[in-house]
């Protein structure tokens, strides 16, 4: 097997600790895990196996293909995007659908497929049936395991959070659902009255921090790239595409094997940094598709073949790159070796 010149260091202990933190913040409610988009890019099977060992029992994916990938683990999986006609061949064998339209509900009921989840829209106007339709008996005769809704602005201070929570709470004991679930990562940090019976964190499991309540959340992912070349750039010469960085003096530069095709986006140009131990090595010039230049004047020992870690603590990396924490974590590409510890 070849060893890739770039790798993700994945901290399984931090992942499990983050789940335990979110479980604690969820109070009496159970804490599940959103592992859609291949476990937010880390690898859904590897993530789910570790979280199942930590005690997590409820997993959420977007599609039936994602559910199939988790089937060998034998855990409880809900498919957030519901069930289309073309999914009925595999449903519910490997997961429960989260039904979100009257057509899906009719399809499920007529096929007599048993336990399901249901998404109710409380104001986001994304997926879900209306509160009013539920009140009028849309779910009658369905075996609803979990009734869900989703918060549009849980990472902000806005009256919309309480409005959504109150609309959702108004459905308590009106549907026969065994459990109710509203909060994502940010919603968990809004307080106990957002937890209901089951929470569904995603981002915070993987090291995202959006609210004060996330202070204990730890970084899980560190991208590392190998130095392909070290060079001296004479004063006045430039580095990289479009010659955006000019050496103010003779400068030591290392070229790393990572670029925007790996999810290390162009927004990090002149804003990101690598590390040699504690020494910060600023990104200089444009991020290329597969390559990156960093200034190594402060690290005389960095040489061809060395591995450097990139600054990727999600909140700070989001500020540096101008991307959201979600975009950063889910975009880390397929060329990395994914190396788990813990
Ligand atoms: C993605 C998703 C989550 C997890 O959200 P985070 O903000 O990543 O915690 C929870 N519920 C639903 C319906 C989702 O689509």
- Quote the radius of gyration of the chain (alpha carbons, Å): 23
The 10s digit of each residue's pLDDT in 195-238 is 999 999 999 999 999 999 999 999 999 999 999 999 999 999 99
Pick the catalytic residue from 36, 40, 260, 312: 36
Mean of pLDDT values over 263-270: 97
CA of 278 relative to ligand 1 center, distance in Å: 34
Instruction: Tell me what pLDDT residue 269 has.
Output: 96
Q: Which fold has domain 221-341?
A: Lyase, Ornithine Decarboxylase; Chain A, domain 1 (2.40.37)
Q: Which atom of ligand 1 is nearest to the CA of 326?
A: 8
The 10s digit of each residue's pLDDT in 95-110 is 999 999 999 999 999 9
CA of 1 relative to ligand 1 center, distance in Å: 36
Distance CA 21, CA 209 (A): 12
CA of 3 relative to ligand 1 center, distance in Å: 34
Strand spans (E) along 265-326 = 273-276, 279-282, 292-295, 307-310
Instruction: Tell me what pLDDT residue 92 has.
Output: 87
Tell me how far the alpha carbon of residue 276 is from its chain's centroid. 27
The β-bridge partners of 11 are 341
36 has catalytic annotation: yes
Mean of pLDDT values over 122-142: 97
Of 322, 315, 259, whose CA–CA distance to 5 is shortest?
259
pLDDT exceeds 90 at position 1: no
- The CATH code of domain 12-210 reads 3.20.20.10
The 10s digit of each residue's pLDDT in 143-201 is 999 999 999 999 999 999 999 999 999 999 999 999 999 999 999 999 999 999 999 99
pLDDT exceeds 90 at position 113: yes
264 has catalytic annotation: no
Domain residue limits, the chain: 12-210, 221-341
- Same fold for the pair 12-210 and 221-341: no
Q: Which atom of ligand 1 is nearest to the CA of 208?
A: 8
CA of 146 relative to ligand 1 center, distance in Å: 15
Distance CA 303, CA 265 (A): 24
Mean pLDDT of the chain: 97
- Which residues have CB under 6 Å of ligand 1? 34, 36, 80, 150, 184-186, 200-203
At residue 87 the predicted structure's pLDDT band, cuts being 50, 70 and 90, is very high
Q: Whose CA is nearest to atom 6 of ligand 1?
A: 202
Distance CA 256, CA 16 (A): 31
Alpha helices in the chain (DSSP H): 12-25, 36-40, 44-54, 64-70, 102-111, 131-135, 159-169, 185-188, 314-321, 325-330
Asked if 27 and 190 count as a contact pair (C-beta separation under 8 A), the reply is no
């Amino acid at each position: 097997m070849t060893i890739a010149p770039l790798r993700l260091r994945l901290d399984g202990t931090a992942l499990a600790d983050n789940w335990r933190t979110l479980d604690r913040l969820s109070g009496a409610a159970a804490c599940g895990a959103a592992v859609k988009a291949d476990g937010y890019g880390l690898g859904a099977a590897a993530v789910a196996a570790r979280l199942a060992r930590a005690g997590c029992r409820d997993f959420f994916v977007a599609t039936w293909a994602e559910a199939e990938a988790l089937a060998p683990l034998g855990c409880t999986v809900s498919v957030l995007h519901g069930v289309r006609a073309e999914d009925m061949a595999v449903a519910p064998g490997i997961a429960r659908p989260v039904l979100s339209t009257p057509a899906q509900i009719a399809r499920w009921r007529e096929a007599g497929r048993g336990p399901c989840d249901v998404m109710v829209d409380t104001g986001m106007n994304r997926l879900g049936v209306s509160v009013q339709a539920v009140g009028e008996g849309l779910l009658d005769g369905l075996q609803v395991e979990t009734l869900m809704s989703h918060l549009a602005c849980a990472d902000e201070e806005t009256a919309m959070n309480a409005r959504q929570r109150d609309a959702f709470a108004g459905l308590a004991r009106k549907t026969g659902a065994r459990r109710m679930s509203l909060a994502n990562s940010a919603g968990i940090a809004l307080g106990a009255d957002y937890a209901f019976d089951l929470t569904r964190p995603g981002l915070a499991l993987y090291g995202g921090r959006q609210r004060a309540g996330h202070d204990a959340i730890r970084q899980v992912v560190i991208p590392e790239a190998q130095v392909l070349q070290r060079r001296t750039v004479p004063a006045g010469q430039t580095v990289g595409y479009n010659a955006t960085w000019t050496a103010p003096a003779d400068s030591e530069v290392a070229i790393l094997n990572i670029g925007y095709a790996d999810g290390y986006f162009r927004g990090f140009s002149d804003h990101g940094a690598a590390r040699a131990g504690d020494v910060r090595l600023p990104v200089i010039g444009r991020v290329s598709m597969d390559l990156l230049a960093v200034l190594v004047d402060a690290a005389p020992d960095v040489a061809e073949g060395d591995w450097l870690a990139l600054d990727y603590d999600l909140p700070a990396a989001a500020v540096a790159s101008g991307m959201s924490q979600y975009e950063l974590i889910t975009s880390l590409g397929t060329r990395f070796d994914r190396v788990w510890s813990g």
